[in-house]
Structure 1
Amino acid sequence: MGIRFCKDGHLILIVIEDSEEITAWKMKKQRQLSKKKKALKERIKAATKIQAWWRGTLVRRTLLHAALRAWVIQCWWRMTLDRRLQKKRRAALITYAHAERAVVKLQSLVRMWRVHWRYCQVLNAIYIIQCHWQCHNCQTCALLRGHCVVTATHLQFHIEIINP
């Protein structure tokens, strides 16, 4: 390389270059650029993989949260249905118990009325017998002995006349 000055004061630059050296230098620059581009591509590829992993993690986390929320709602709904079923069963049982109590009470009242009615019949019969016996002439010649048996279906009354 050489520098020359002209008479007018202008600078003249004379450059002598070696074409092989320039070519090597350009190739070196191109290799460095291609290495940088390759490294940049690798970094971009790595960054893309990291971003894809992170997005996948976020999606899976969102899906997991949604599944957990759905599971909680399903558990609550099953519990609500079970409570409703238990309330219906309890109401049916209470209704059945009331009906059974009413039937038992009615049966008891009917049985009591039937026994009372039979007792009244026997009592009326006893009154009639007593009245006729008192009107009889031989009141001192005989004694009355009575025996009464009450069962659920009927009333038995036995009267004996004993002569001493």
Structure 2
Amino acid sequence: MEKDQPKTIHEHTKNEPQQNELPAPSPNLRKAEAKQENIAATKGVDDANKRLRAIPRTQNRPPISNPEVVKIQAWWRGTLVCSTLLHVALRVWIIQGWWRHKLVKLHENRQRTALENFTRKEWVAVRLQSWVRMWRICWRYCHLLNAARIIQAYWRCHSCASQGFIKGHYRVTANQLHLELEILLGSGPCIVTECIPLPIKQ
């Protein structure tokens, strides 16, 4: 019995280191642990940022101790605001003046174009009217001239048929009188030529 006991003890001592050894961690476990650590770190950073945001801004400003400094700062801010307002008002005034000048020019151009169109139309109408009047006057004049010629021709025929007239001329030489007469009657002209001797006293 005693001989058997040391063997069992020795066997136990040999098996004890094998039982005390821990198994090696797997790579998946290491990755999971690293992820958890990263998540914890990001949570800590977010909590710190939230705390910083929760702190009011007035705590960062130094306390105001001198009221004169406050007055000077307020005056300076007022002067800056006034200068910016003056610059803005000046620019607005310049833009408004330019725009008014532009509107006046546009209005003048529109009036000029309207006047030119009106004068062109009026000139065309007057020219057409003058041409029509000239054509009517010419037609009237030609009509009256033709009527006058017809009347004159009829009157000449009537006067020649109803009345006659005599015209002639003479020429005196040393001892003769040359006489030439033209008698116009309704039938036709009649020309009479005669030489009459003149008595000469001796």
TM tier, shorter chain?
Answer: 0.5 to 0.7
Alignment pair present for 1:34 and 2:34: no
Matched position secondary structure for 1:150: strand
Q: Output one character per residue of 1:53-81: Cα deviation in whole Å (capped at 9) or x when no partner.
A: 10011001111111111111221222122
Pick one of 108, 111, 115 that aligns with 1:63: 111
Question: Matches of residues 153-164 of structure 1 in structure 2 within 5 Å?
Answer: none
Matched position secondary structure for 2:153: helix
Instruction: Name the residue aligned to 2:184.
Output: 151
Instruction: Name the residue aligned to 2:169.
Output: none
Pick one of 79, 103, 118 that aligns with 2:151: 103
Q: Output one character per residue of 1:59-112: Cα deviation in whole Å (capped at 9) or x when no partner.
A: 011111111111112212221221121111101111012112212332344456
Question: Residues 149 and 157 of structure 1 are in contact (CA less than 8 Å); yes or no, is this contact kept in structure 2?
Answer: yes
Unaligned runs of 5+ in 1: 1-9, 116-147, 159-164
Higher relative contact order (CA 8 A, sep 6+): 1
Instruction: Name the residue aligned to 2:67.
Output: 19
Query: TM-score scaled by structure 1?
Result: 0.59
Pairwise CA RMSD: 3.3
Matched position secondary structure for 1:57: helix
Alignment pair present for 1:91 and 2:139: yes
Structure 2 Cα separation of the partners of residues 87 and 65 of structure 1? 33
Instruction: Name the residue aligned to 2:21.
Output: none
Structure 2 Cα separation of the partners of residues 14 and 80 of structure 1? 90
Structure 1 Cα separation of the partners of residues 88 and 61 of structure 2? 39
TM superposition shift of 1:149: 5.4
Structure 2 Cα separation of the partners of residues 13 and 80 of structure 1? 91
Between structure 1 and structure 2, the one with the greater Rg is 2
Q: Which amino acid aligns with 1:15?
A: P
Counting aligned pairs with the same residue, the percent is 5
- Is the alpha carbon distance of 1:61 and 1:110 closer, same or farther for their aligned partners in structure 2, counting shifts above 3 Å? same
- Is the alpha carbon distance of 1:23 and 1:156 closer, same or farther for their aligned partners in structure 2, counting shifts above 3 Å? closer
Q: Which amino acid aligns with 1:62?
A: R
Question: Residues 182 and 191 of structure 2 are in contact (CA less than 8 Å); yes or no, is this contact kept in structure 1?
Answer: yes
Instruction: Name the residue aligned to 1:51.
Output: 99
Structure 2 Cα separation of the partners of residues 105 and 153 of structure 1? 14
TM superposition shift of 1:40: 0.5
Structure 2 Cα separation of the partners of residues 14 and 82 of structure 1? 93
Unaligned runs of 5+ in 2: 1-51, 164-180, 193-202
